Amino acid sequence: MKCLVTGINGFAASHLADHLLELGHEVIGTQRIRSLRDNIKHLKIKTVVMELHDPFGVDHVIKTVKPEVVFHLAAQSFVGWSWTNPEETLKTNVLGTAYLLEAIKRHTPTAHIHIASSSQVYGKVFEPMGKDTLFNPMNPYDTSKLSQDMLALQYFNSYGLHIVRTRAFNISGPRRGESFAESSWAKQIADIEMGNQEAVIKHGNLESARDYIDVRDVVKAYAYLGINGNPGELYILGSGVPRKMSEVLNTLLTLTNTQIVKVEDPERMRPSDTPTMQAKDSVLNLIVDNPIPFEQTMQDLLDYWRTKS
């Protein structure tokens, strides 16, 4: 099938492209004009420039490519950045999705559409999070992804577009951006091992807990659900196991022989933070046989940064 992956050069999107190609699908990716291509330099695929802020450009891409399946992963995906750039976050994640769905409705209304939402839509909730959990967003990113999620549902209800939504919990693994906590720590460890940084790890809040899943498992679920999922359906993707950030950091520190000191960095503390994220109603184990263990994910993430140091 002809698959369009938005934000192809991103973390999960690049892994999704790998998997779709392994399955024998044709893959075309979109990227911003100045985007780095490090994550996709190994791929032999066609890419097109598409700015989600430009409705005419989005329309042109859909009209020209005429995809059979659209995997919409392009987003402003960093929670911390959304605090200082709420307008940009909302424009990209909400208006950009509206432009994309409008273009699909006009030019390829029978296409299958996968909207990659996020567990962040739940916000500050003190219970496992699933289909029936009420929303309590805590930051502009949460609000943007919730709006995107509901917009996708509305386009299914209003126009009958073949849309499936996934709410993935904390995705990690090789190629994870250094703006995210566990990847920042892995990069710092690799830099320390190479002598490029003093033996100190700077960190933010270690008491919050997150539900980690490996990116290589997640994209298998994305590919399967994007093509075979029931239109209008929501799918939860998580492990069901919350891990304190202190455990995540300590796991990474067990993977190095270097003695490293942990230091709290006030600049890495957020104005508000969801205490615990834990999935319920997840379908990940129904789609992926033998999901990658958390410890292996952290090992592979650290090894990735070791190749970059």
Task: List, for residues 177-227, the tens digit of each pLDDT value.
Answer: 998 999 999 999 999 999 999 999 989 899 999 999 999 999 999 999 999
Note whether residue 281 is domain-resident: no
Instruction: Name the phi and psi angles at 183, rounded to 5.
Output: -75, -35
Angle between helices 55-65 and 96-107 in degrees, nearest 10: 40
The verdict on 91 and 199 lying in the same domain is no
The total domain count for the chain is 2
Is 7 in the same domain as 94?
Answer: yes
Residues contacting residue 305 through CB under 8 Å, at least 6 positions apart? 183, 186, 187, 189, 190, 191
**Residue 193 neighbours by CB distance under 10 Å:** 18
pLDDT digits (tens, 9 = 90+) for 63-99: 999 999 999 999 998 887 888 999 999 999 999 999 9
Other C-beta atoms within 10 Å of 309: how many?
15
Asked whether residue 72 falls in the same domain as residue 196, the answer is no
Give the integer Cα–Cα distance in Å for 42 and 253: 30
164 and 206 in a single domain? The answer is no
Residue 11 falls within a domain, yes or no?
Answer: yes
- Residue 231: C-alpha distances to residues 161, 162, 186, 226 (Å): 8, 5, 38, 9
Buried b (16+ CB within 10 A) or exposed e, 38-55: ebbeebeeebeebbbeeb
This prediction has a pTM of: 0.96
| Shared domain check, 250 and 118 | no
Give a yes or no: residue 204 inside a domain: yes
Q: Note whether 131 and 194 are same-domain residues.
A: no
Q: Are residues 265 and 163 in the same domain?
A: no
Q: Which amino acid is at 113?
A: I
What are the tokens at 185?
């720590």
Is 204 in the same domain as 69?
no
Are residues 17 and 99 located together in one domain of the fold?
yes
Residue-averaged pLDDT of the chain = 95
Nearest-angstrom CA–CA distance, 234 and 136 = 18
Could you tell me if residue 283 is inside a domain? no
Report whether pLDDT(57) > 70.
Answer: yes
What's the pLDDT tens digit per position in 164-177?
Answer: 999 999 999 999 99
Q: Are residues 23 and 104 in the same domain?
A: yes
Quick one: 35 and 128 in the same domain? yes
How far does CA 42 lie from the centroid of its chain? 20
Q: Give the separation between CA 20 and CA 2, rounded to whole angstroms.
A: 10
| Enclosing domain of residue 94 | 2-171+213-237
Q: Does 158 map to a domain?
A: yes
Residues 206 and 91 in one domain: no
